[in-house]
Chains A and B, each alone.
Chain A
Amino acid sequence: MIPGKPSTFTYSVLPVLTVVAVLVVVWYAAAIKMNSTWTYDQAARAGTEPSFSEVVKDTMQQDRPLLPVPHQVAAELWDTTVEKKITSKRSMIYQGSITLKTTLWGFALGVVVGIAMAALIVLSRVGRLSLMPWAIISQTIPIVALAPIIVVLSNAIGAGSLLVPKAIIAAYLSFFPVMVSMIKGLTSPDHMQLDLLRTYGAKRSAVFWKLRVPASMPYFFASLKVSIAAAFVGAVVGELSTSAISGLGARMLIGSQFGEPMIMWAALFAAAILAAILIFTVGAIEKILRRAMGGQPV
């Protein structure tokens, strides 16, 4: 460590941990406050008068608390990931893998559609005039409203499983950031670079493949992280709104409908962790590709 220079710990770990600590404290306080109502009701019914420490203790042990405390959620998460068999319907790993599959299919579809639309928009005037307005309008329609329609339609065209409509919903959200970035990236070469290729008598296809496509890569990579996050949100929303019975989104819904707050919260955290892993993975792949393309280390 260089003297005088703060370590990585002070720079990146400590701030995050501080925020987490504050959140945990607030969470415990809120849980005690919210869950104590039930404890007092029970005590009143039994005719006892619990001390404050008894109340606090009780608020953290309820089976169906209004707001489970962090260690209860952690325990539930541990139980449903490590303790349960992966094949069990109660396993978050199993549920998460379903959401993951939807996310990845939606992401792949979204990236392909996003690139294709960007290429059409950049290369042809007709594409620009006809596609661009629709692409923007598409993002103003709430996906929750479209979800049932997508389910019905994909059933009608004979898609057997729910995977197809869910992946379409995920792709619907994830194509947009890729398209916008790719349009920007493909049009990023300046006049000088285009003139240079003209002096070589280069064809339009050469300009596209040798200049526009490689020049767009940094923009593309930057959009992937946003896109995978959007695909994940789309997958969860898809599970919530297609009356799916499996997947993390479905688990959340089931948890809320059957009054199982622990399941709901555990599914929520499983979703957050999965999203973090996805974004981190995409970020790592991006770093490797950047280096392969001769990027200057930062």
Chain B
Amino acid sequence: MTSPVIDVSGVDLTFQTNDGPIHALKNVNLEINKGDFVSFIGPSGCGKTTLLRCIAGLETPTGGDLTVNGLSPEDARKARSYGYVFQAAGLYPWRTIGGNVKLPLEIMGFSKEDQTERVRKVLELVDLAGFEKKYPWQLSGGMQQRASIARALAFDADILLMDEPFGALDEIVRDHLNEQVLKLWARTEKTIAFVTHSIPEAVYLSTKIVVMSPRPGRITDIIDSPLPKDRPLNIRDSAEFIQIAHRVRDGLRAGHDE
């Protein structure tokens, strides 16, 4: 096995605010290997989003070591090592869906033909072929979020960072998108880090579940999922699934009681 794609060791982060320092992350250790699907789960304020932002180089830890593809997060960000999906789709209302997906490609200087080809390919990947010329307001919330995933995939980075991408969607749409993300992951073999506050979502999607708890934000449990890579939706009724969900819930409760 080669070295981990994302290596977090002893990471600390303290925000200085007007109300005094806030200890957002405390001694976080984590290895994410190539092809892993890792979920961060925990109550709000546990630092799961902050950890993801540290990995993305959008926040800088105040202590510890963090490497992405062997680079510092800052350099990895500049080397465009990852695609990032935010909580809201955040599509530009003045661009068509195709135009939105093209945005990172324009900024990164891909050739015109390459741009067109990539846009077509990723829109197909998220089942949005034929919506290229539509404007965001013409799409449902779930479709918009799919378009934003396509945008993150367009430049074909090996790592996909997703920050509660389906948090604002209803459960039916969310189930559907979870299935699609799994398919996408199987097809593209990307390394995915996924923040969520839904236990079923975390268990259904992940090969590795990172349970976190707040004040200070820290990891309380890391669960390697024994579920097979191929997961139909009804796997959620299996005994194994329920067992893992239990363990996640226990971890969350333990963190809460301390």
Chain A residues within 8 Å of B, Cβ to Cβ: 192-193, 195-202, 206, 210-211, 214-215, 217, 293-296
Contacts and interface: CB of A to CB of B under 8 A. Distances in A.
Contact of A199 (B58, B94, B135): B58
Contacts of B135: 294, 296
Contacts of B92: 211, 214-215
Contacts of A195: 58, 84, 86
A202 B109 CA distance: 11
A128 B79 CA distance: 33
Contact of B86 (A196, A201, A210): A196
Interface of B: 56, 58, 77-80, 82-84, 86-88, 90, 92-96, 103-104, 106-108, 135, 137, 155
B86 A293 contact: no
Contacts of B93: 294-296
Nearest to B106: A210
Dominant SS at the A interface?
A: helix
A200 B104 contact: yes
Contacts of A215: 92, 94
Given A202-B107, A210-B107, A294-B94, 10 more contacts: A192-B86, A195-B84, A195-B86, A196-B84, A196-B90, A199-B56, A200-B103, A200-B107, A206-B107, A296-B93
A198 B77 contact: yes
21 contacts: A192-B86, A195-B58, A195-B84, A196-B84, A196-B90, A197-B107, A198-B77, A199-B56, A199-B84, A200-B80, A200-B104, A200-B108, A201-B80, A202-B107, A210-B103, A210-B107, A214-B92, A214-B95, A293-B94, A296-B93, A296-B137
Given A206-B107, A210-B106, A294-B93, A198 B58 contact: yes
A275 to B, nearest CB: 30
A198 B92 CA distance: 16
Contacts of A294: 93-96, 135
Contacts of B108: 200-201
